[in-house]
Structure 1
Amino acid sequence: MARYLVGDIQGCAAPLKQALKQINFDAKFDELWCVGDIIGRGPSPLECLELIRDMGTATKMVLGNHDLNLLAVLSGVREANPNDRLDTVVNLPESEKREWIDWLVQHPLLIRSEDNLIMTHAGIYPWWSVSEAESYAKEVSEALQQAWRSNKLDKFLVAMYGNEPTQWSTSLEGMDRIRFFINVFTRMRFCDLSGHLNFSVKQSPDDCNVPAHLKPWFELWDVSEHTLVFGHWAALMGKTLRDDVIGLDTGCVWGEYLTVMRWPDGHRIKVRAAG
Structure 2
Amino acid sequence: MFRDKAPWWAYVAILLTSIGAVLPLAWLFLLSLDPNQGIASGSGVYSLKNYASVIFQSMMAQYFLNTTIVALFTVLCTLTCATLGAYAASRYRFPGRETIMIGLLLASMTPVIAVLVPLYALAAKLQLLNTYSILVIVFTAWQLPGTLWLLRSFMNSIPPELEEAALVDGCSRAGAFVRIVLPQLVPGLLAAGLIVFVYVWNEFIIAVSLAAKQDMRLVSVGLYFYLSDFGVEWGKIAAGAIVSIIPPAILFLFLQRQLIHGLSAGAVK
- Taking structure 1 as the reference length, what is the TM-score of the superposition? 0.20
Pair member with larger Rg: 2
Tell me which of the two structures has the higher relative contact order, counting C-alpha pairs closer than 8 angstroms and 6 or more residues apart.
2
In terms of fraction of residues, the more helix-rich structure is: 2
In terms of fraction of residues, the more strand-rich structure is: 1
